[in-house]
Structure 1
Amino acid sequence: MAVCEVCKNDYELAFEVRAAGAVHVFDSIECAAQKIAPICDNCQCRILGHGLQADGQFFCCAHCAREQGFARLVDHA
């Protein structure tokens, strides 16, 4: 069994995620999101969808990007 690096649960169905050259072990998608999902630079929510990026900043939506001065970014329709 493997131990989740977020909650420390020793779980037989744990899985590995390889990201940015590192290997992470999690027991759930929730723990994986808490560890590796980016955080919106405006509202600080976890970005679980595509999100938006500008000048090295990440945003969950166009509204948050506009709040930080990136008027050119728009959500996909």
Structure 2
Amino acid sequence: MAKCDTCGNDYDKTFTVVRDGWSGTYDSFECAATALAPTCAHCSCRILGHGVEANEQFFCCAHCAEQAGHSALVDRV
């Protein structure tokens, strides 16, 4: 069995994610998302969809970007 890099659970169904030469082992999608998904610069939620980006900052939606002073961004329609 392998241990989850996020929570430390020793589990027989872990999986490995490889990205840019780095790898991590997780026991659930939730733990993988906690480790890998960016965080909204305004509300701090995990960005699991496309999100928006301004000045090298990531936001979960255009509303949060606007709250942070980036009014030109719009959500995808």
Under a length normalisation based on structure 1, what TM-score does the superposition of the two structures give? Answer: 0.93
Extract unaligned runs of 5+ from structure 1: none
Partners of 2:70 and 2:20 lie apart in 1 by 26
Q: Percent identity?
A: 53
1:49-60 correspondence runs (5 A):
49-60=49-60
Return the offset for 1:47: 0.6
Extract unaligned runs of 5+ from structure 2: none
Find the residue that maps to 2:66 and give its secondary structure.
helix
Find the residue that maps to 1:58 and give its secondary structure.
strand
Aligned to 1:21: 21
Q: Which runs of 4+ in 1 moved over 3 A?
A: none
Find the residue that maps to 2:38 and give its secondary structure.
coil
Find the residue that maps to 1:38 and give its secondary structure.
coil
Partners of 1:21 and 1:72 lie apart in 2 by 35
Post-superposition Cα deviations, 1:14-62, rounded to whole Å, max 9, x if no partner, equal 0011124310000000101111110000001111111111111000000
Partners of 2:71 and 2:52 lie apart in 1 by 12
1:36-51 correspondence runs (5 A):
36-51=36-51
Partners of 1:42 and 1:20 lie apart in 2 by 27
Find the residue that maps to 1:45 and give its secondary structure.
coil
For the aligned residue pairs, the C-alpha RMSD in angstroms reads 0.9
Aligned to 2:7: 7
